[in-house]
Amino acid sequence: MKAEFTAIIEPAPEGGFWAICPEIPGANGQGETVEEAKKNLRQAIKLIL
């Protein structure tokens, strides 16, 4: 079963990108690219759930 969550991705002031998932408190990720930030956010969600 797959679940869908909202990802908010924004440029980080120091460079790269950061991502959060508002449905899951504490789920966030960062990376040099949008794809890397999304990958890290997915990993954080998996660890929390």
Q: Is residue 12 part of a domain?
A: yes
Tell me: pLDDT of 23 over 70.
yes
Predicted TM-score of the model (pTM): 0.89
- Work out the pLDDT band at 2, boundaries 50, 70, 90: confident
Average pLDDT over residues 21-49: 97
Q: Is residue 43 part of a domain?
A: yes
Q: In degrees to the nearest 10, what's the CA dihedral of 42, 44, 47, 49?
A: -70
Q: Is residue 28 part of a domain?
A: yes
Sequence-distant (6+) residues with CB within 8 A of 6 are 21, 22, 23
Half-sphere exposure in the Cβ direction for 47 (13 Å, CA) = 11
What is the predicted pLDDT for the residue at 3? 85
Q: Is residue 24 part of a domain?
A: yes
Domain that residue 25 falls in: 8-48
Q: Is residue 3 part of a domain?
A: no
Domains contained in the chain, number: 1
- Work out the pLDDT band at 1, boundaries 50, 70, 90: low
Q: Is residue 39 part of a domain?
A: yes
Q: Is residue 37 part of a domain?
A: yes
